[in-house]
Structure 1
Amino acid sequence: MLWVSDFTYVATWAGFVYVAFVIDTYARRIVGWRASRMAHASFVLDALEQALHDRRPTHRGGLIHHSDRGSQYVSIKYTERLAEAGIEPSVGSVGDSYDNALAETINGLFKAEVIHRRGPWRSFEAVEYATLEWVDWFNHRRLLEPIGNIPPAEAEDQYYAAADNIDMAA
C-alpha cells in the first residue's frame, strides 16, 4: 500500500489558506485532508491523523507514505508519527515534482476544479467548506480513467469485495 501527500495554497482576501491531502494511490482516493491558516507541520499531521483514523491501516510495515522534502513532512513530529503507526516514510528528491506526481496531480485538479473556477476567495472558512465538498465529490462521483472510469470509492469497494471473495474461497 502507498499513500502520497502534498499541500498547496490558496490566496484569499484574508491571507493564504494551505490545504493538505493524503491520497491512497491504488484507488486514487483522498483519505485525509486539512485546511489551515499556517503551513506548520501540525496541519499536515492533522491530514495524516484523519487518514489513520478513517483507514486504520493494520498491516504493520505494509504501508509506505511518500511526500516531497518539505519541512513539514520531514519534521521530527511527522516522522515520529509515521513510525508510531508502522508506516515506512519515503521522500522525493529535491526540486523534482515528478517524484510525487500523483499528489501534484490532485493539487492541480483541486485548483482547476475548485479554486480557479470559484474564486476569488474571501475567507479561510469558504476555502475549507469548498474543499470538504470537493473531496466528497472527488471520492464518490468523479470518474477517473486510470481506474476504469469509476469513482475512487467504487474502485476501492471493488478491491475489498474481490479480496473478501478470495478469503472466502481459501
Structure 2
Amino acid sequence: MTPRRKKRLALVLALVLGLGATVGLVLYALNQNMDLFYTPTELVNGKPDGTKPEVGQRLRIGGMVVKGSVKRDPESLRVSFQVADTGPAVTVTYDGILPDLFREGQGIVAQGVLVNPTTVKAHEVLAKHDENYMPPEVAEAMKKNHSKLQYTEEQLQGSAQ
C-alpha cells in the first residue's frame, strides 16, 4: 500500500469514527431528554406492549382531576390531587402555582418524576382547556362533512324503499 493510500484510509477511518461518536452522543442526549406520556391506567397496569415505567423515571401523565381529591397545604404552595381516566387513580404532588384553568373534573397534563408506582412528583402542571372547543375552520369542515354524510344516508334510505 502506498503512503498516499494509507493517509486516505486513515482519514476515512477518522471521519467514520468521528461521525459514529457524534451520532452516539446525539442519541444519548435525546434519550436523556425524552419524557414518555402515560395515562393513569397505563402507569399502574403498564402499556399494552408490556412496558411499565420505573421509579425515578421522568414522564408525563394526563387525565382528569378527581373531584374532591385536591388537597392544599395552608403553609406553602404544595398541592396534591388525584388524576384518573377510566381505571385507577394516580396521586400527583406539585409545589408551585397551578394554572388558572386548573380545577376538579378538568383535564390536566403533569410532567415530573415517578416517586412510587402510584405517585408522581410534578415539576410542571398544564391545564387543558375545554375538550369541546374547536377552531372555527375545523368546526366548519365538520359541518360540511356531516351534511354530506347526512345527504348520502338519505339517498341510501330512499334507494332501499
TM-score between the two structures when normalised by the length of structure 1: 0.21
* Structure with larger RCO (C-alpha < 8 A, sep 6+): 1
Larger C-alpha radius of gyration, 1 or 2? 2
Q: Which has the higher helix share?
A: 1
Relative to its length, the structure with more strand (as a share) is: 2
